[in-house]
Amino acid sequence: MARTDRQYSVSDLCRTMDTLAPENLAQAWDNVGLLAGDPAARVRRAMLCIDLTSDVVEEATREKIDFLLAYHPPIFKPITSLRADSKRTDAAVFQCIRHGVAIYATHTALDAADGGTNDVLASMCGIKKTEPLEYVDQSGERHVKVVVYVPPENMERVAQAIFNAGGGHIGNYSHCSYRSTGEGTFLGGENTNPAIGQPGRLEKVEEVRFETIVPERILPGVVDAMVCAHPYEEPAYDLYNVRPKPARGFGRIGNIPRPLALRTLARKLKRATGAACTQIIGSPERIVGRAVILVGAAGSIPFRIGLQESDVIITGEIRHHDALTINRLGCTAIALNHWTSERPVLTHLAQRIAEHHPGIPVILSQTDREPFQPI
């Protein structure tokens, strides 16, 4: 790797992480991003772990780490104290702050991201093409579809007013709209002053239905401009929320290139992940052809997709009653242990972070360990 004299800050690495695993991909209940530290502080060395434990903090101190990425957020629920003698994770957070180590958590953002936890586990199965099990609303800036009905002779004036106010942009295109003609009706009350017809008489007029897209943040200004340009005393218009096509989400589902026995796949994943103890649900000789992957804990998500007998759920841990459900459905599952199913992503993530920040060593914690040990 080429040497560089450039200096990087905590905020630089945060921006990189928001590119690799955007924070807006995380679940609403999650707590991701920079949890502790000075955004302006310099980063000379970075370290990655799954769990922020006291052993990991001691290792980070010995290794002179400035930026510590913990997959699981050590600050999850509101905390009322930060004590060095605590038996909870706030003690580890306190020690990091004391030694000037910034803490960044990624968790479900990395689960949903391209090349994240679930994609890495899928690649271990030899799966090349996957789709999310559940999509994330990653809409960012929200848009509204504005629909207004205008007499043909006034159409261009109203359209131009909307465009001048900032409406009608789709990507690199401007002045985007759709127009269709039809018949509108109205009956003005005795105190009205209609632009067409007379009060108290039902009027039928030719109108153009004009549709365009407007960013929600400028919607009030666009509506005001439209109303001012419209010839009617009371213009008829509708506003519809617009959601973009979802592209990313949680979990992965994909076909295994060469269907194989459950026992064979379980052993393959055991070797690849270094799992100390791997459990299966279903007959070891069952041939599996499609993988449903959810690192950590699968929960009930796999049961929402219509599981088939050739499906294998690959996860970290499975609840007892969910295991019974898997048996009843006739499919299979592999449980690698929660930590073990998540840890493989760190090697790939460290390489990607290092590529964005040449000159900064990005290491994996050696004291971050699977809490469950075989006997």
- Which numeric CATH code is attached to 143-242? 3.30.70.120
Domain 8-108+344-364 has CATH 3.40.1390.30: yes
By the 8 A CB rule, do 317 and 279 touch? Answer: no
| Per-residue CA distances from 293 to 117, 133, 165 (Å) | 10, 9, 46
CA atoms within 13 A on the CB side of 81: 7
Q: How many CB atoms lie within 10 A of CB 243?
A: 9
From the CB of residue 316, how many other CB atoms can be counted at a distance below 10 Å?
Answer: 23
Predicted confidence (pLDDT) at residue 343 exceeds the cutoff of 80:
yes
Q: What percent of the chain is modeled with pLDDT above 70?
A: 97
Assign 196 a pLDDT band (cuts: 50, 70, 90). confident
Q: Is the fold of 117-136+248-336 the same as that of 143-242?
A: no
- Nearest residue to 32 via CA among 2, 73, 70, 85: 73
pLDDT tens per residue, range 238-274: 999 987 777 788 899 999 999 999 999 999 999 999 9
Cβ-contact 366, 59 below 8 angstroms:
yes
Residue 220 CB neighbour total at 10 angstroms:
11
CA-to-CA separations, 235 to 197, 230, 328, in angstroms, rounded: 15, 7, 59
Q: What is the pLDDT of residues 125-184, one digit of tens each?
A: 999 999 999 887 655 668 899 999 999 999 999 999 999 999 999 888 999 999 999 998
pLDDT score of 2 more than 50: no
pLDDT at 137: 67
Domain boundaries, the chain: 8-108+344-364, 117-136+248-336, 143-242
User: What pTM value is reported for the model?
Assistant: 0.76
pLDDT grade, residue 90 (50/70/90)? confident
Which one, of 99, 115, 75, 102, lies nearest residue 11 by Cα? 102
Q: Residue range 322-337: average pLDDT? A: 96
- The per-residue pLDDT for 279 is 96
Q: Are 45 and 115 in contact (CB under 8 A)?
A: no
Mean pLDDT over each residue of the chain, to the nearest integer: 92
> Helix %, strand %, coil % for the chain, to 5?
30, 25, 40
Is beta strand 143-150 parallel, antiparallel or unpaired with respect to 46-49? Answer: unpaired
CB 293 within 8 A of CB 314: yes
| Assigned superfamily of 117-136+248-336 | NIF3 (NGG1p interacting factor 3)-like (3.40.1390.30)
d(CA 314, CA 321): 17
Percent of the chain with pLDDT over 90: 77
In the predicted model, what is the mean pLDDT of residues 73-92?
A: 88
- Residue 55: pLDDT over 80: yes
CA–CA separation, 111 vs 118, rounded Å? 6
pLDDT tens for each residue of 4-26: 568 999 999 999 999 999 998 99
Neighbours of 222 (CB within 10 A): 22
Give residue 166's pLDDT. 94
Give the bridge partners for 279, in sequence order: 335
Residues 6+ positions from 221 with CB-CB distance below 8 Å: 165, 166
What's the whole-number mean pLDDT along residues 59-86? 92
pLDDT (average), residues 116-120: 97
Cβ atoms within 10 Å of 238's Cβ, excluding its own: 12
Query: Beta strand pairing status for 279-281 and 332-335?
Result: antiparallel
* The pLDDT of residue 194: 80
**What pLDDT is stored for residue 189 in this prediction?**
86
Q: Is the pLDDT of residue 1 over 50?
A: no
In the prediction, which pLDDT does 342 show? 97
Place of tokens 């949903």: 112
Token pair of 373 as six digits: 């040990």
The secondary structure of 156-200 as a DSSP string is: HHHHHHHHHTT---BTTB-S--EEEEEEEEEE--TT---SSS-TT
